[in-house]
Structure 1
Amino acid sequence: MEEVHNQLLKKSKKAKLEQFGKTISFLAIILIVAVVVAIFYFVASKGLATFFVDKVNFFEFLFGTEWSPGNVTEEGKQMVGALPMIAGSFIVTLLSAIVATPFAIGAAVFMTEISPKLGTKILQPVIELLVGIPSVVYGFIGLSVIVPAVRMTFGGSGFGLLAGTFVLFVMILPTVTSMTVDALKAVPRYYREASLALGATRWQTTYKVVLRAAVPGILTAVVFGMARAFGEALAIQMVIGNATLMPHNLITPASTLTSVLTMGIGNTIMGTLENNILWSLALLLLLMSLLFNILIRFIGRKGEMK
């Protein structure tokens, strides 16, 4: 009787395997959280040293327009104004998202509503190919094609925010398109059937029913694409001109947070003001990426509530 009781209380092999899997998953989650916290701590400790060790004024860093770390103005202030790079990052990100969104929505509508078979056979492989192209290839294409085209069409050197916008537009288009396709496919089929049953045309159904129902998913795709564009470094560095000046138009050389970081981080000595101020830019970039992720989750929850 006691043996039967022990057998009943003994865990089966499947239960032990399940417990082992839960333990491994929990340890993996702990490791991921620890790595993320370590990254935030490392970047924050380096970036905040600019303000607590080097005594740089935070508002002068955030809103200043002169960038030459290590040098001072006539008033004795450090020339560490990051506003030109912040403005450049936001301008190319917003413009590339504005240009990419109509193309992404149009391609997604064609692939899901107009010709799903043709879209699956032709457009889907093309989009997947664009996703897999390395950033440096986009940069070389921008340097060889887009910069000369901008120079011939609008004048100037060809380097600037406009060239960066075109490069980022091509880079984020596959991401935005793929996520928009998923958002349109997620719209229930009976939405379309009910609209058509009420006498709506195919276009009216697509425009007034399907697209409106997919708005949260499309917004998530756009914000995700903006996050991708905001963090891009190599391709944008090759075509924007890398001039740390306030952008006055779209065809003069400018810079972004990532372009300044990639050019300068390897040419500074750890612990100096020149190095710490670059870590401050990295911290700002990290916080903006976190903000984009929070915005994506917020839009996703709004869509679930609807």
Structure 2
Amino acid sequence: MERQIKLTASERLINSSKNRRLDEVRGKVIVMICAAIMIIATLAITIFLVTKGLQAFVKNDVSLIEFLTSTNWNPSGDSPEYGTVPFILGSFAVTVLAALIAAPLGIGGAIFMTEIAPSWGRKVLQPVIELLVGIPSVVYGFIGLTVLVPFVREHFGGLGFSLLSGMIVLAVMILPTVTTIATDAMSALPNSLREGSYALGATRWQTIRKVLIPAALPSLLTAVVLGMARAFGEALAVQMVIGNTRNLFSSILDPSATLTTIITLNMGHTTFGSLENNVLWSMGLILLVMSFIFIMIIRYLSARRKF
């Protein structure tokens, strides 16, 4: 009887070991399938965009130099022109200006939550900041259209539909991204940095400015670049407030357009495979290339992190 019990116990151990191995195999297979799907999807999207984006230059003989250097956009004229300079500059201008607003606000908010506010401060402020992420972009655009555009028109002049309105809307949209990542970066710094600085007689502000910010700088820059990546690809909210003109802007009060707004405005009015449709896909390819550049910058900054 004792021998039977011992055999039963050993069988249970063997079965348990087999079950664990099967669970590990299943887990590895599921993870590998998920990774393969992500890789295949990324490659498929990239290949499709590259193929469609190059057709305007290969199949329709659109000049690449004119496409990237001309300021004339007239796809429906007798002699169609496809200069994208105003839209490329508009995309970069609204993105950089939005980052210039969101970066100091986001990093300042992160410093306040992690270094200055009491313990309950972050518990209250963090959910409020993250709540902004869940607001749909069309809501931001509608608020900008009904509140911001009339305000800019009344107090700054112009039509109100301008680069200024677009950058303010984008700055509010990317602020939660910058703030959340910057907060995590500041929280991840070891307390030994703070304690060592205080032990040397530094004040709290000196510790923040000369010790903590330099230590977290790569992560803080990553937060800003991630915010810029989101701003560069935003379409609907910007489309509602920026004006969507073909002309090159001369000031932030002038209406402008971005690559994304022109694509969304015109794609539905073109025939798949037509010249104008292929040119819009080429503009989409520019957005893809810029996304890859942002990712490379983020990877470079991440490699420089010290903590």
TM more than 0.5: yes
CA-based RMSD of the aligned residues comes to: 1.8
Partner residue of 2:3? none
2:242 to 235, 240, 243: 240
Partner residue of 2:283? 281
> What whole-Å deviation, never above 9, does each CA across 1:217-266 have from its counterpart, x for those lacking one?
10000000000100101000000000011111111111001100111111
Structure 2 Cα separation of the partners of residues 260 and 104 of structure 1: 29
Gaps of 5+ in 2: 1-9
Gaps of 5+ in 1: none
Partner residue of 1:23? 29
Partner residue of 1:170? 172
Structure 2 Cα separation of the partners of residues 231 and 255 of structure 1: 13
Kindly state the Cα deviation for residue 70 of structure 1 after the two structures are TM-superposed: 4.3
Superposed, 1:26-175 pairs within 5 Å as: 26-71=32-77, 78-175=80-177
Kindly state the Cα deviation for residue 122 of structure 1 after the two structures are TM-superposed: 2.5
1:254 aligns with 2:256: yes
Structure 2 Cα separation of the partners of residues 98 and 117 of structure 1: 29
**Contact 1:93/1:226, CA 8 A, preserved across alignment:** yes
> What whole-Å deviation, never above 9, does each CA across 1:159-205 have from its counterpart, x for those lacking one?
01100010001001111001100110111100000000011011111
Partner residue of 2:19? 13
Count the aligned residue pairs: 296
Structure 2 Cα separation of the partners of residues 81 and 119 of structure 1: 50
Partner residue of 1:206? 208
38-47 or 275-284, which deviates more: 38-47
Partner residue of 1:217? 219
Tell me the SS of whatever aligns to 2:226.
helix
Structure 1 Cα separation of the partners of residues 105 and 45 of structure 2: 36
Kindly state the Cα deviation for residue 11 of structure 1 after the two structures are TM-superposed: 6.5
**Contact 1:160/1:254, CA 8 A, preserved across alignment:** yes
> What whole-Å deviation, never above 9, does each CA across 1:30-69 have from its counterpart, x for those lacking one?
1111111111111111110000000011111011101112
Structure 2 Cα separation of the partners of residues 152 and 140 of structure 1: 18
Partner residue of 2:272? 270
Kindly state the Cα deviation for residue 303 of structure 1 after the two structures are TM-superposed: 1.4
Partner residue of 2:192? 190
Deviating above 6 A after TM superposition, structure 1's stretches of 4 or more consecutive aligned residues are none
Structure 1 Cα separation of the partners of residues 294 and 77 of structure 2: 34
Partner residue of 2:5? none
> What whole-Å deviation, never above 9, does each CA across 1:88-128 have from its counterpart, x for those lacking one?
00000000001111111111111000014243233112101
In the alignment, residue 13 of structure 1 is paired with which amino acid? N
Kindly state the Cα deviation for residue 282 of structure 1 after the two structures are TM-superposed: 0.6
Structure 1 Cα separation of the partners of residues 237 and 121 of structure 2: 28
**Contact 1:72/1:79, CA 8 A, preserved across alignment:** no
Tell me the SS of whatever aligns to 1:243.
coil
Kindly state the Cα deviation for residue 155 of structure 1 after the two structures are TM-superposed: 0.8
